[in-house]
A = this chain, B = another copy of it.
Amino acid sequence: MEKDSLLVLSGGMDSVTMLYKYIDRIALAVTFDYGSNHNAREAACAADICRRLGVEHLLIPLGFMGQYYKSALLSGADAIPDGSYAIDNIKLTVVPFRNGVMLAVACGLAESRGLKRVMLANHGGDHTVYPDCRPEFISAMSQAMETGTDTHVGIWAPFTSLTKGQIAAIGKELGIDYSLTYSCYKGGKVHCGTCATCIERREALLYAGIFDNTVYEKDMQ
């Protein structure tokens, strides 16, 4: 199998699962540090996993997002609401056009390296609230990238229609140790267990029948 793809790797469950599943296609994994509360911890997980798997890894700072973009995700842990992914809750954590920026940067890098595709681990659960996770966006952005590059770099997003639980089930089959990944939007040393991403993480692991060995702050109290 030709290693012709670049993976956008956050260090969370979804993109780590994609890395394990399609490792024979992935020439390069790229993590973006856009200044969110949880970015540094996710990025450390991403770097660690790439080292273990022998995959080349780049960390690209996008400091302007933290500086100029408006989002609770960029405003410290106290700005992150507790509770599940209800629309009003999660809307606060939208970082405007985050996937658009990451895909565009990854696209130029892929063309520079002669790689054909950018892989993104957006999934079904993201669709309702984040416009830049929906299939229509992925398709339109892929079209823009193919048109805007000489080598017609496209997007490959094979998890678009899966739920996070189904992704965890793939990970179970592959024997992924999810304690190597990080999810919490509050960005603490320990997962809070109460923000929307922590709740989603727990539910996905439960759905897949994976023993959840994540330490949650909530359970320590």
Residue of chain B at shortest CB distance from A95: B108
**Given A64-B60, A64-B61: A131 in contact with B108 (beta carbons within 8 A):** no
B99 contacts A101, C-beta separation under 8 Å? no
Residue of chain B at shortest CB distance from A59: B64
A99 contacts B148, C-beta separation under 8 Å? yes
The interface on chain A, measured as residues whose beta carbon lies within 8 A of the other chain's beta carbons, has a size of 42
Specify which chain B residues have a CB less than 8 angstroms from the CB of A98 in the assembled complex.
108
B140 contacts A143, C-beta separation under 8 Å? yes
A147 contacts B137, C-beta separation under 8 Å? yes
B137 contacts A105, C-beta separation under 8 Å? no
Specify which chain B residues have a CB less than 8 angstroms from the CB of A143 in the assembled complex.
140, 143-144
Which residue of B63, B65, B103, B131 contacts A150 across the interface (Cβ within 8 Å)?
B131
Does chain B have a CB within 8 A of A107? Answer: yes
Specify which chain B residues have a CB less than 8 angstroms from the CB of A136 in the assembled complex.
147
Does chain B have a CB within 8 A of A172? Answer: no
Does chain B have a CB within 8 A of A134? Answer: yes
Does chain B have a CB within 8 A of A179? Answer: no
**Given A111-B96, A140-B140, A150-B131: A105 in contact with B145 (beta carbons within 8 A):** no
List chain A positions with a Cβ less than 8 A from chain B. Answer: 58, 60-61, 63-65, 68-71, 94-101, 103-105, 107-109, 111-113, 131-132, 134, 136-137, 140-141, 143-145, 147-150, 153
